[in-house]
Amino acid sequence: MSPHRTRTDGHAPALRHRGELLYGMLRIRRFEERCVELYSASVIRGFVHLYIGEEAVAVGVNQALTEDDAVVATYREHGHALARGIPAEAVMAEMYGKASGCSRGRGGSMHMFDASRRFYGGSAIVGGGLPLAAGLALADRMRGQPRVTCCFFGDGAFAEGEFHETANLAALWRLPLLLVCENNLYAMGTALKREHAQTDLALRAASYGMASWPVDGMDVLAVEHAARQAAESIRAGAGPHFLELRTYRYRAHSMYDPDRYRTKEEIAEWKARDPIDALARQLRDDGEVDDEALAALERRAANEVAGAVRAAERAPEEPADELLRFVTSPVTPTRAAR
């Protein structure tokens, strides 16, 4: 799926593929940086988990998915939602709790949904999206549809029973499921080595009898390559695949987290491998972009984010008397029956 295009795109020179990847990551980062400001200003509330540093994962994996495929994400899913093509206006409006939000203000930062794009959330119980993703894949398998369900989750979810139940079930039934483990080295504040006896997650996933390998999650091209390989193999009927994306979040777990459990040096080391900087450097070295082109990308991202904020501010709130809407479907056949 190509990155979302704004109205300003029409005037920008066509970007080549790597440039689109660069923009895909950049817009997520600028979007979330704006979220931090809005949170500090008390405009956005609740839990907000930032993806900053991990953008290469969502953007790279999405290159391997088609519109017919399905995505299940986590509570750290602004990046996945934007990469999947949910308009920035709808994602921002959701955080504002507005009626035009992609979940009509009922979900907030952790629960973005878009049925039309087969984006199934937005799940905030760690590991809770995995069984659901297996079910989406099961439906495709039973109907013989060559689609992939892609489930994002973290190294924390790897410690949950749901991961192990789902991995076994998916491998047993050869489900068309792409398991994307975003290993950012921390389950909230607990380091990988303090929560896993064996920290080689790809190795453990392989024990379920599925193709499984680690990928540099800070290199969007490596992520794209791995995801394409896995998705192709899944579409060919090879059953579930597991990718361990080794990545890092620069910001704290959530806006409430004082971040006492890691060192500034460690964060700086990972920032030196920043996926956006790395790709920009590469494109510049290859003569594909110059300073002016990079500045244009920045302007485009700033415009898109500013447009999303403006739209969210103007959007109406859902009337409170609609509170009980959508608890159950409006007209159920059972009520119509006799």
The site for another protein (CB under 8 A) is made up of 70, 101-107, 111, 113-115, 120-123, 125, 128, 130-140, 142, 149, 161-162, 165-166, 168-169, 172, 325-329, 332-335, 337-338
Report how far Cα 55 is from the mean position of its chain's Cα atoms.
8
- Specify the residue, 135 or 189, whose C-beta has the smaller distance to another protein: 135
Shortest Cβ 167–another protein spacing (Å): 9
- Specify the residue, 24 or 176, whose C-beta has the smaller distance to another protein: 176
Q: What angle do CA 42, 47, 50 make, to 5 degrees?
A: 95
| Distance between CA atoms of residues 145 and 124, nearest Å | 29
- Specify the residue, 152 or 248, whose C-beta has the smaller distance to another protein: 152
- Specify the residue, 268 or 323, whose C-beta has the smaller distance to another protein: 323
- Specify the residue, 136 or 276, whose C-beta has the smaller distance to another protein: 136
- Specify the residue, 205 or 289, whose C-beta has the smaller distance to another protein: 205
Residues 6+ apart with CB under 8 A from 31: 78, 82, 88, 91, 92, 301, 304, 305, 308
Shortest Cβ 96–another protein spacing (Å): 14
HSE-CB at 311 with a 13 A cutoff on CA atoms is 19
| Distance between CA atoms of residues 11 and 31, nearest Å | 21
Q: What token pair was written down for 239? A: 């059953």
Shortest Cβ 250–another protein spacing (Å): 28
Shortest Cβ 296–another protein spacing (Å): 35
| Distance between CA atoms of residues 57 and 62, nearest Å | 8
- Specify the residue, 131 or 307, whose C-beta has the smaller distance to another protein: 131
Beta pairing class for 190-191 and 186-187: antiparallel
Phi, psi of 191 (to 5 degrees): -65, 150
Shortest Cβ 205–another protein spacing (Å): 15
Shortest Cβ 199–another protein spacing (Å): 24
Q: What token pair was written down for 78? A: 């602004």
| Distance between CA atoms of residues 238 and 84, nearest Å | 24
**What is the per-residue burial (b if ≥16 Cβ within 10 Å, else e) of 148-165?**
bbbbbbbbbbbbbebbbe
Shortest Cβ 165–another protein spacing (Å): 3
